[in-house]
A and B are shown apart, each in its own frame.
Chain A
Amino acid sequence: NAGVTQTPKFRVLKTGQSMTLLCAQDMNHEYMYWYRQDPGMGLRLIHYSVGEGTTAKGEVPDGYNVSRLKKQNFLLGLESAAPSQTSVYFCASSKQEIGKNIQYFGAGTRLSVL
Chain B
Amino acid sequence: SQKIEQNSEALNIQEGKTATLTCNYTNYSPAYLQWYRQDPGRGPVFLLLIRENEKEKRKERLKVTFDTTLKQSLFHITASQPADSATYLCALEYTGGGNKLTFGTGTQLKVEL
A residues at B contact (CB < 8 Å): 4, 31, 33, 35, 40-45, 48, 50, 56, 58, 90, 92, 94, 96, 99-108
Contacts and interface: CB of A to CB of B under 8 A. Distances in A.
A50 B99 contact: yes
A31 to B, nearest CB: 6
Interface residues of B, number: 25
A2 B101 CA distance: 23
A58 B43 contact: no
7 closest Cβ pairs, A-B complex: A105-B43, A42-B105, A43-B103, A42-B103, A102-B46, A105-B44, A90-B43
Given A42-B89, A99-B32, A99-B51, A105 B45 contact: yes
Interface of B: 4, 8, 31-32, 34, 41-46, 49, 51, 89, 91, 93, 98-106
A45 B43 contact: no
Given A99-B31, A105-B44, A106-B43, A40 B99 contact: no
Contact of A43 (B8, B32, B44): B44
A76 B57 CA distance: 36
30 contacts: A4-B43, A31-B99, A35-B103, A40-B8, A40-B105, A41-B105, A42-B89, A42-B106, A43-B44, A43-B89, A43-B91, A43-B103, A45-B102, A50-B99, A92-B43, A94-B99, A96-B99, A99-B31, A99-B32, A99-B51, A100-B32, A100-B49, A101-B93, A102-B34, A103-B46, A104-B46, A105-B43, A105-B44, A107-B42, A108-B43
Nearest to B45: A105
A48 B102 CA distance: 13
